[in-house]
Amino acid sequence: MSVFKTGLLMAVLTVLLVLTGGILGGETGLVFAFALAVVFNLGSYWFSDKIVLSIHRGQAPELYSIVECLTQKASLLMPRVYIVPTDHPAIHKRITRLEAMATSRH
């Protein structure tokens, strides 16, 4: 259900952007706005994990476990895209480190 809602939201935002481009720039604005919407949608799809993690900057370590779970699921579909290096620390060690960083800032 959440995939449907996300797709619907992206479609509505695309339509709004394209309509605004058409109103402001005519046919050229329409084409430009559509191209911009495609870039935004692809960028948010492929880089959403990095965007969320960079917004929170270690303030929400539970997000790292969510992203790791999602990358494990994605690795079943695309095995070579989200492979974690073998020398990468285990998730509980990373969370402990992030929590220590968060408490040292306060």
Q: Assess whether pLDDT exceeds 50 at residue 82.
A: no
Nearest to 3 by CA among 64, 73, 59: 73
Q: Assess whether pLDDT exceeds 60 at residue 92.
A: yes
Whole-prediction pTM: 0.50
pLDDT of 14: 93
Q: Assess whether pLDDT exceeds 60 at residue 81.
A: no
pLDDT in tens, 10-64: 899 999 999 999 999 999 999 999 999 999 988 888 887 777 777 877 677 777 7
**d(Cα 95, Cα 63) in Å, to the nearest integer?**
10
Measured on CA atoms in the order 30, 34, 35, 36, is the torsion positive or negative? positive
